[in-house]
Amino acid sequence: MFKLRRFLKDYKKECIIGPLCKLFEAILELFVPLVMARIIDVGIKNRDAVYVWKMGGLLVLLAVLGWSSAMFTQYFASKASQGAGTKIRRELFLHINSLSHAELDALGTPSLITRITNDTNTVQQSIAMMIRLLTRAPFIIIGSLVMAMTISPRLSLIFFGAAVLIALTLYLVTSKSVPIFTKMQKKLDNIGLIARENLSGSRVIRAFSKQKAETARVDEATGELAEITLRVSRLSALLSPVTYAVTDIAIILIVWYGAVNVNIGEMQTGDIVALVSYMTQILLAMIVVANLVTLLNRTAASAKRINEVFETEPSVVEGSTETIAVDLSAPKIAFEHVCFNYSDDGDDELSDLSFSVKRGSTVGIIGSTGSGKTTLINLIPRFYDATAGCVRVDGRDVRDYSFAQLRGQIGMVPQQSILFSGSIRDNLRWQNKDAADSELIRALKTAQAWEFVSKLPRGLDSRVEQGGRNFSGGQRQRLCIARALVKLPEILILDDSFSALDLATDAALRRALKETTEGLTVLIVTQRSTTVRGADRILVLNDGTSAGYGTHDELMESCEVYREIVASQEG
């Protein structure tokens, strides 16, 4: 939690004035038992109605001042906590977007969502509670002890004994519950993961009639969370009864020994009432401290998870923020003895891969599932960095570029067709926000998408639901291809982007690409031999290594792997 204090630097005033207002309220509250004692010992004992009314008015004044002070504290606490929570979410989102694919894979999407929402809410709530209660509760406890000493030093020993016992209980519960809260957040991550899988894969679950199995899986995950929550709840539940028991015993002792002192004339009745009031104040303050400690325990676990994200450094960083000079006479893309591994303790996904792509040519990349096709193209825009060797674009190592210069010249259509909520026009303008409708229609026509877009009632302004779920798989793929074509990038990467298209649409799309992408360097990743047959060059991958690189005819003669692929698909 201490590491997150930087998010409160713009709320120093609120963090200072808020606790001071609460401290003022606590001071006023400590005077109430003394006023009550004076009413009993002077007003009621002497039957002085005027004095009773006067002191009653003082109690009302103290209550109004305390209420006003509490309202100011509430305002400052809300302002600081909401502001800090907003800043934490914003910085988390920005930092997550700066991480490379490797870090995102390691942290996991469900866990990151939980950290941005649930963990940040816990920290936000904790900030508000600390401003409101962190100064008040300890001051009430210490102030009540001091005031008790001024009334009766001997009876104040009961206060000290009760405070020590309650503090010891708090310590024992805290030390046991902090590790459990950390486990509880991990169980919450697991529920988020299962919920995400079930919501996104609902059609698959129903197709295989796995509703009962998935329900059992959810029940198991929620049962584990419930079990661990019950464990920490049982621990936390000890605080209130133990605190009440100790306080009640202390009050009984105060009344017992106080009555003896009243009988012998050493104390007055009002003093006993004041001592009981101070003991009650200590009880209430201890309960507040107990709840605050429970919240802080949860906050410690949440803050640790948030800091874990902030402390995660991206493995892929910009080589430069300036535009660098390039060599236009060099191949557009070149791989030089490239090796890549997702982890340090496994076999290489790519091994000693070398090939070059001429400017303006079309290269097909084909291979069996798991041969490293997607991994290869992810190294070009630096989603990952090669573990050995060098990837060059225009003769320069991709690590020398700024992200804007490198990725600004690449149009990429990933395997998963991702569309964002909004309109078709909004989605197509992602790379060029000022693109005219004529440019959008040109891209749609090339991608064979204008045929169905033009038939929609609102055309380009038609609504796109989250993930593009109101379009078919083939329509989503064509819209994603159109989005990449709007700006006419220098490098167009199509990662298995024809998989949901029928053969006729596939052929028409390839013809349109050849006509409209002249001068563009095109990489087509696919498992269909017919899709890459007309490419200028074809790279055949086999277990992360190059099994062949040449034209269709050349590979049919020299590459056994390619011949097997063609034979399996074309008979």
Domain boundaries of the chain, sorted by first residue: 2-310, 333-570
Q: Which residues pair with 494 in a beta bridge?
A: 413, 524
**Residue 213, CA distances (Å) to 78, 203, 218 in order:** 44, 14, 9
Cα 118 to Cα 186, 301, 520, distances in angstroms: 12, 12, 46
Distance CA 310, CA 352 (A): 35
Amino acid identity of residue 249, one-letter, is: I
Helices (H), ranges, 354-502: 373-378, 403-408, 424-428, 437-446, 450-453, 473-485
**The pairing of beta strand 333-340 with beta strand 350-357:** antiparallel
Q: Which of 480, 478, 551 is nearest to 512 (CA)?
A: 478
State whether residue 206 is helix, strand or coil: helix
The number of beta carbons lying within 10 Å of the beta carbon of residue 476 is: 21
Architecture of domain 2-310: Up-down Bundle (1.20)
Residues 6 or more apart in contact with residue 292 via CB below 8 angstroms: 129, 130, 133, 134, 137
pLDDT in tens, the chain (571 residues): 667 878 888 888 888 888 888 888 888 888 888 788 778 777 777 777 888 888 888 888 988 998 998 898 889 988 998 988 899 999 999 888 888 888 888 888 778 888 888 889 888 988 888 888 877 878 888 887 788 787 777 777 887 788 788 778 777 777 777 677 777 777 877 887 788 778 777 778 877 788 888 888 888 888 888 888 888 777 777 777 777 788 778 878 877 877 777 777 777 777 777 888 877 777 777 777 777 777 877 788 788 888 888 888 888 888 777 888 888 888 999 999 999 888 766 677 888 889 999 988 889 999 888 888 888 999 999 888 888 899 999 989 898 888 888 888 888 888 888 888 888 888 888 888 888 888 888 888 888 888 888 888 888 888 988 778 888 888 888 888 888 888 888 898 988 877 767 778 878 887 887 777 777 888 988 888 888 888 889 999 988 888 889 998 889 888 888 888 888 877 6
Three-class SS state of 57: helix
* Residue carrying structure tokens 């409708």: 437
Say if residues 431 and 489 touch (Cβ distance below 8 Å): yes
Q: What is the DSSP letter of 474?
A: H
Helices (H) and strands (E) in the chain, counts: 21, 12
Model pTM? Answer: 0.70
Tokens of 173: 């519960």
What contacts 434, CB < 8 A, 6 or more positions away?
none
- The encoded tokens of residue 140 equal 């009430």
Q: Taking the chain, what is the end-to-end CA distance rounded to the nearest angstrom?
A: 65
Helices 136-151 and 12-38, packing angle to 10 deg: 30
The CATH code of the domain at 333-570 is 3.40.50.300
Q: Are 62 and 32 in contact (CB under 8 A)?
A: yes
